[in-house]
Structure 1
Amino acid sequence: MVTATLIAYLDGLDANEGVVTCRDAIHAFDGRILRTWDAAGAADVRDLDAPGATLLAVHADTAVLSDDTGTLIDRGGAEPTRIPVRADAAVPVADGWLLTEPRDRDNTGWSQSHAIVWVDATGEIRSEHILEVFGARPSGVSHPTEPAALLEFPMGQDGTLLAAVRVVGDELEVTELLGAEDPVIGGFSPDGSTFLVLPYPSDPDVALIASWPSGDVIARVSATDLDLERGFDLTGGYLGADRVVLLATETGPVLAASDLSGAALIELIGLDEIADEDSWISQVFPVGNDSFVIGVTDGGDTIATLWRIS
């Protein structure tokens, strides 16, 4: 049996609200303070003082935030750059950013399309590409070695569009992947050769590994085969090169090899300190090679904790 032990409580982190993750850290922003926790649970704080803004992404010393007036790129020690794009997602690519912006809103505020906007390191808009997606709530992950990213555009009952986006000079090359799967991005492997695909809530049984850049499915795992009655949830990712962590909905984290073989629930040693029979695990976020954050929800409250695989 795979076990994990409780390492730290992450005070100030609501795992269900506004979490931004990267390979070795997890971030949260409260309108004034950016908090960052590493794989050992050590916390760092930074004063951004952007009331009303939403944190979209963090990469190295740069945070990207969005409010009603546009997008703010805040580099540590430098004057912030404001861009006239009302972004709802941001992904670092090469020395710039891919931003997504809802367009063509109807009289109810429902967007009829989204722009993918390529912004260079100086904040200059270099290119954009329009996708016909309706009421989407996008997110994305950058490729670890190429000037490319995966962007997902969930549209509720209309499913999800997954776009592979490459920056080629000043142009964007956009290709739809896994059109029949309603995919949810679980992140790239460290070498970028594969990516994890989590299931859409309407059919939560199967998680996938797909190859980059083709999107060909090379591995599957079924929640039914593991006797997980509620299937897989929407969070998870790679733990280093050789393992992935998934979330069995309202049950607990699942560890598998990077080809999804050997999948099994992780026994959380010490969970009874923070959870009772009315609580459930609502999120799981990998941090580093052997640690992950979970959110334990009880009613309206969520406790965020860091665990390490034994």
Structure 2
Amino acid sequence: MRTWSRVRGVLRDPGGLFGALVIALILIAAIAGPALAPYDPSAQSLETRHLPPFWMDGGSTAHLLGTDQLGRDLASRVIQGARVSTIVGVAAVLMQVLVGVTLGLLAGYWRGALDAVIMRLADVWLAVPFLVLAMALAVVLGPGLWSTVLVLGAVGWVTFARIVRAQTLSIRERDFVLASRVAGARPIRTMRAEILPNVAASVIVVATLQVSQMIIAEAALSFLGLGIQPPDVGWGSMIAEGRDSLSSAWWVAAVPGAALVIATLGINLFGDALRDELDPRIR
């Protein structure tokens, strides 16, 4: 009942409702993309190249959002791009959560030398700009879907580690944690059963917001040619393909750009509403 109450609280927020609808559409596109796409995203037809969206002169309802320089249907490619962005965003954040939460719990609970080593490593990681570090790792690992996931997962764990460590330092001194330790519970059990549930709300909120950041980062890497490669379709690579025809066929870059903006805006608004609902200090 409490969970459903929080869900209703998020959906009562206009931004949360908008974000939930956007996330639902992205998930539907990710799961049922091949069935929803009216055409093969990679199918080329030079006879229909640079066809404008249906509401413009020369547009056609056969290609609602128009076609690109190779005659590929933009609606189908945007749907396929949503699938790729979802895979990259969710998989990268899951990797960040696994690494960051584990290191944050260990650093905050054990403190001492282990804490110092983990936090110094985090400081070194943060000293390099996020995108620069991601680009460097992408060059080493090479472009591709799962390489992009590994790159983004590797560079984003610090956020979760620092948040979880800070909360663990406070929670470990509370009575229920002390009681668990006095009762003879092993440290791993104490961290899993007593501390982790109390930091879960913050982790969930940060993870939600982090998904949108990873989608943007994936688009940036793909735009630079270091991320998603054909035959996979990424919104960033679609924007890159359309930049040379902005003056004559602006929709080739604008359509995936609009999809990227709407997706990240919706996820961020949902994350903000979720934070307001889960954080008792805000309520």
TM class by shorter chain equals under 0.3
TM-score with structure 1 length normalisation? 0.22
The answer to which structure, 1 or 2, has the higher relative contact order (CA under 8 A, 6+ apart) is 2
After TM superposition, the score normalised by the length of structure 2 is 0.23
Q: If you compute each CA radius of gyration, which structure gives the higher value, 1 or 2?
A: 2
More strand by share: 1
Structure with bigger helix share is: 2
